[in-house]
């Protein structure tokens, strides 16, 4: 299993536009996509990684271990997240 980065958020919230813009900037600058999950649809993922604040970005190692976690409306730097995708 390779490293995985997942963005968990609801797309009908006041922060949604910020998240969509950040994801688009990430894709444009890096050429990579970040997996997106809705916490109401994939509750098992949120329970496994104790995600209760949205948006959250989780960087997982090859074994599914949490390498980094960013929570809340302040989106991380693109380079910070890209580091965990390498």
Q: How confident is the model at residue 86 (pLDDT cuts 50, 70, 90)?
A: confident
Integer Cα distance of 48 and 73 in angstroms = 22
Q: Domains of the chain: which residue ranges?
A: 4-85
Which CATH superfamily includes the segment(s) 4-85?
A: Glutaredoxin (3.40.30.10)
* Arithmetic mean of pLDDT over the chain: 95
Among all chains, which residue has been given the structure tokens 């599914």? 64
pTM of the model: 0.93
Q: Give yes or no for residue 6 having a pLDDT over 80.
A: yes
Q: How confident is the model at residue 75 (pLDDT cuts 50, 70, 90)?
A: very high
Rounded mean pLDDT, 26-36: 97
Q: Give per-residue pLDDT as tens, 32-69.
A: 999 999 999 988 999 999 999 999 999 999 999 999 99
- Which pLDDT score is estimated for 51? 95
pLDDT score recorded for residue 2: 81
Q: Report in angstroms the alpha-carbon separations of 45 from 18, 37, 78, 80.
A: 23, 9, 23, 22
**Measured between alpha carbons, how far is 63 from 13 in angstroms, rounded to an integer?**
32
């Amino acid at each position: 299993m390779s490293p995985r980065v997942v963005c968990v958020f609801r797309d009908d919230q006041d922060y949604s536009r910020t998240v969509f813009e950040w994801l688009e900037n990430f894709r444009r600058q890096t050429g990579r996509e970040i997996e997106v999950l809705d916490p109401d649809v994939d509750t098992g993922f949120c329970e496994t990684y104790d995600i209760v604040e949205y948006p959250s970005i989780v960087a997982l190692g090859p074994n599914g271990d949490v390498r980094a976690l960013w929570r809340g409306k302040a989106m991380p730097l693109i380079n910070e997240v890209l580091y965990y995708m390498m």
